[in-house]
Structure 1
């Protein structure tokens, strides 16, 4: 039996000539088309809009397809009237409390992805932290969502997260609410940039660690720019065999290979002699990473955050002249995220080192003689 996604795809193929399409948003089916403005709308011209039709079922797809043809005919004959469609939508939105919508949203979220430590962590950080601020017994409407967003500090990561998350909840519930205008100007570059540890300080800090297992972890983080939790998900046999190219088997962004910067640290830090701490790995990546951060902060009193080792690795690759695309891949970033995140860390000293390295290359182009 064909699933609902396949049924929608086939129906949209038949509706293509009608200038209308079916979309599934959460548990509802919508028709999308270029339509006249709604009554009392601020926008006066025709534009792409959705009409809430029915529940997302196989029979619902058939109903939506037939309604799409009817709407197309009404548009052609200039008999389309928004009042025929707004009332059912209003009844749908007011039928459930915010708490009920959140529950249905969560059910839908985990129906579309495997429930594991990674997805549970994403749900907790990106969604639950926002949803817990909502008045769960009130009716879901645009004004409630707007006031929750405006209660956050403008131009912050928190404001941006609230806008993104509540926009998704509104879309799921079929509510006409777009908070993009409240999102503000937050970006990676808006964050306060702190000083990164120098290579000399990193080396000295490694030497000062007493516990050999955590010293090994520190060396791996410094040499390969790993995320804190990834040090526990490596191909250790390759390391023991003396292979300087590390293979990450699992973690936030999955499988990838990383090269050492500086390569000399591989031997100086004794990285082939694997001595990994025995900690509880039956947890989310963020919880494992927090254990690493807490261990170095509480027991060793590092003069910097251990995650700064990852940032320092990223800047170090620039000094080596590594192409930014390759650095991004090795860190498990997209190119845009990598560039935006680390652009602000790069100062005049880093530019000078990169310049000196480029000038020192024997194969660099030479200017013509005068």
Structure 2
């Protein structure tokens, strides 16, 4: 029967060709479609700039002998419209799903995105964080006035020139399309690119980086708004806290417990991460306590600035918190740091590993699972950890050599002193005698 249907399909297409009907019939997944070159759909684009494009129009007709008869009639009808140049994309040719979407603008769908997304997702701190990731990336790479068609959405991704940017954009667009039931195939972009190397700073580089904020103060121009002339102190404090605790930047801005941080009762010098953060509440312990003093992280002035900064934001909105975290990245670039805020978190994880801290303890302190710690952070350990371990070993060896040298010098000095004592004893005996 299938062979007979294919044979009949070829005969019908030959008749259509002989009648100079610029339409053919094709079978796809057990259904029949019309194929023709037509004016562009509303909101569609052609990469070569032409105003026409080849389309497959689903007839929702089964691929059987009766269906072929109906499809041939539809082909002739469409052919007449093409010949008379009267074809229009109406409800019949757009299909039910397209009509349901009504070819809305991207900005219209973005306004509904949150409401529609949480119809099928439980609203939690983590899911809200994930949603905002999808929302912000979709909004960033798309033109809000364009129509939300498959062709447009894929086009935005293809314009991006970096693999990781395309991969992350495809994840966001995929969630956007699933929410609004837009049929799209993004399998081409679903493979995770190879990881780029990170610039994980050493402890010495972190200490040097801290001084760059004050250096910026002396090198900046004179035209500085009086209201923000000391703001660099807040971002220097943020830098120090990220280095000491390995925090996510937003964990400093979401309901920070400043009173606890300055409290005399906080004898372990922990930072309380609020329950509204990505992985819930925890008390983060410092890995390098001396930096708390060296970086003056309990200075009340930057903490007052922090309180002022978050009071101007809606702490329940990821957009407002993200604006602060983006400001951190901006300051890293501004003062000339060649690593990023999250690299300080990786540096903390590597330092913990080199120091022999159990993975479970390190993972708990960073606020994620052992699996995430192993898969996400230890992937950077290979080269960077070896460098740190070797440098640490060489440093210890140098320290040992210095100690040996000092011990040898002290031994010589000790022998000299013994001789001096013996000499003095003999002189004393001689005088008494």
1:293 matched to 2:295? The reply is: no
Q: 1:296 to 1:135 in 2, by over 3 A?
A: closer
Residue 167 of structure 2 is aligned to residue 163 of structure 1: no
Does 2:366 match 1:331?
yes
Question: Does the CA-based 8 Å contact 1:118-1:285 persist in structure 2?
Answer: no
Residue 266 of structure 1 is aligned with which of 287, 292, 301? Answer: 292
Q: 1:323 to 1:265 in 2, by over 3 A?
A: same
**TM-score between the two structures when normalised by the length of structure 2:** 0.50
Quick check: 1:320–1:354 contact (8 Å CA) kept in 2?
A: no
1:342 is aligned to 2:377 = yes
Aligned partners of 1:321 and 1:354 also within 8 Å: no
- Among residues 129, 135, 142, which one is paired with 2:140 in the alignment? 129
- The answer to whether the 8 Å contact 1:252/1:285 transfers is no
Structure 2 CA distance for partners of 1:164 and 1:196, relative to 1, 3 Å: closer
In 2, Cα distance between equivalents of 1:338 and 1:174: 35
Q: Which has the higher helix share?
A: 2
CA deviation after TM superposition for structure 1 residue 207, in Å: 4.9
Specify which of 247, 259, 263 is matched with residue 237 of structure 1.
259
How many residues are treated as equivalent by the alignment? 272
Aligned to 2:70: none
TM-aligned CA deviation for residue 221 of structure 1: 1.7
The equivalent of 1:48 in structure 2 is none
Q: Which runs of 5+ in 2 are unaligned?
A: 1-28, 34-66, 68-91, 215-231, 315-319, 397-433
1:196 aligns with 2:200: yes
How many Å separate the matches in 2 of 1:108 and 1:170? 11
2: distance between equivalents of 1:235 and 1:336?
A: 29
Runs of 5+ in structure 1 lacking a partner? 1-36, 42-80, 82-86, 361-370
CA, structure 1 residues 262+245, in 2 after alignment: closer, same or farther (shift >3 Å)?
same
CA shift for structure 1 position 107: 3.8
Contact 2:246/2:348, CA 8 A, preserved across alignment: yes
Matched, 1:246 2:275: no
Task: Please state how far the C-alpha of 1:147 moved relative to its aligned partner.
Answer: 4.5
Using the alignment, how far apart are the partners of 1:89 and 1:173 within structure 2?
17
Cα distance change on mapping 1:103 and 1:122 into 2, 3 Å = same
CA 1:133–1:159: 2 relative to 1, 3 Å: farther
Match of 1:39 in 2: 31
Match of 2:240 in 1: 219
Alignment partner, residue 117 of structure 2: 109
Of structures 1 and 2, the larger Rg is shown by 2
* Structure 2 residue 113 is matched with structure 1 residue 92: no
Q: Summarize the Cα distance change of 1:176–1:207 in structure 2 as closer, same or farther, 3 Å threshold.
A: closer
Normalised by the length of structure 1, the TM-score is 0.58
Q: Secondary structure at the match of 1:262?
A: coil
Aligned partner of 2:191 in structure 1 is 185
